[in-house]
Amino acid sequence: MDISEKLYSLRRARQLSQEEPAEILGVSRQAVQKWESGASTPDVGNLVALSDYFGVSLDELVKGGKQPQPSPPPADDVGPFPRRFQWEYKSKRTLFGLPLVHIHLGWGLCRAKGILAIGNLATGLFTLGALSAGLFSLGGLSLGLLALGGLALGGVALGGVAIGLLAIGGLAMGVVSLGGLSIGVYAVGGAALADRVAIGGFASGHIALGERARGSLAYCRATCTPDLLRRMIIDEYPHTWKPLVDFLALFLE
C-alpha cells in the first residue's frame, strides 16, 4: 500500500472529510486531494504532522503496514483534562498573510501566530502566551511595544522584571524606570539608581532625592519641593522633555 492509499484509508477509517486534516495542517483541501490521488506527495514536515494527526508512526505512514483499527482512547487520555490534549482554532480570514485569530492550546509546545494569537508560544499583533511576542503582548515572558509579564521587555514594559524605555516592575530597568529596585536614566523607587535623576527611599544619581541620597545635587526628599526639582533638572539638563520633568515632580507632591 503506497502513501496515497494509506492516507485515504486512514482518513476514511476515521470518517473525516478532506477539509478537516487540511485545516489542521494549514493546507488547502486540494492539496490533500492530490496526496490521496498520488498526484503529489506531502513534504517531510507535512508527513510528520500527518503521522501525529492520525496517530501512526512515520514509518508505517510512508512504508505502509497494518490497517487502521478504531480503538478506544488510552487510559491516560480519559477525563476532562487528557494528558495529550490539544485544541486549535485558526480563522480562515487573514490580514497581511496572518490569520485574524489563531488559538492553540494544550500540553507541550502549542505555537500560535496571528493578528490575535493565543498559545504557549504566541507571536503576532496582540499576543497572549507563556512566551509572547507582539506589538501588544501578555505572558510569562513578554516582548513587545507594550509588554506585560513576569519578565517583560518592550517599549513600555510592566512586570516582575521589566526592561524597556518606560519600565515599571519589582525590578525595573529603562530610560524611565519605576519599581522596588529601579535603574535608569531617570529612576523612581524604593531604591533608585539613575544617571540623571533618582527619587526614592535610597537614591543615587546626579540629582538625588531620598531619605538616603547620594549625588552631586543630593537632597532629603521631604525638604525638596516640586518647583525646586523642576529648576534643578532644567538647569542641569536644559533639553529635558517638559512633560517628563512634570511627571518626575509629581513624586514630590
pLDDT, position 84: 58
SS3 46: helix
* Higher local confidence (pLDDT), 14 or 1: 14
The CA distance from 139 to 147, in Å, is: 8
6 pLDDT higher than 60: yes
pLDDT-wise least confident of 7-11, 113-117, 175-179, 193-197: 7-11
Contacts of 101 (CB under 8 A, 6+ apart): 89, 90, 91, 114, 115, 116
95 pLDDT higher than 50: yes
The CA distance from 44 to 48, in Å, is: 6
pLDDT-wise least confident of 37-46, 75-84, 86-95, 232-241: 75-84
Contact call for residues 201 and 213 (beta carbons, < 8 A): no
Helical (H) or strand (E) element with 36: helix 29-37
pLDDT in tens, 44-53: 888 888 888 8
Contact call for residues 205 and 215 (beta carbons, < 8 A): yes
- The average pLDDT across 6-17 equals 85
What pTM, to 2 d.p., does this model score? 0.62
Contact call for residues 136 and 145 (beta carbons, < 8 A): yes
- The average pLDDT across 157-184 equals 96
pLDDT in tens, 197-209: 999 999 999 999 9
* Higher local confidence (pLDDT), 145 or 13: 145
pLDDT, position 81: 46
pLDDT in tens, 125-166: 999 999 999 999 999 999 999 999 999 999 999 999 999 999
* Higher local confidence (pLDDT), 23 or 237: 237
Closest CA to 102 of 86, 123, 118, 126: 118
Question: Percent of the chain having pLDDT more than 70?
Answer: 91
- The average pLDDT across 88-96 equals 86
pLDDT-wise least confident of 1-5, 6-10, 95-99, 196-200: 1-5
105 pLDDT higher than 90: no
Main-chain dihedrals φ then ψ at residue 99, nearest 5 degrees = -60, 145
pLDDT, position 1: 61
pLDDT band at 66 (very low <50, low <70, confident <90, very high): low
pLDDT, position 247: 95
Contact call for residues 147 and 158 (beta carbons, < 8 A): yes
The x, y and z cell numbers of residue 243, run together, are 512633560
Contact call for residues 88 and 103 (beta carbons, < 8 A): yes
CA dist list (Å): 136 to 4, 115, 141? 43, 10, 13
pLDDT, position 218: 94
Per-residue three-class SS string for 12-32: HHCCCCCHHHHHHHCCCHHHH
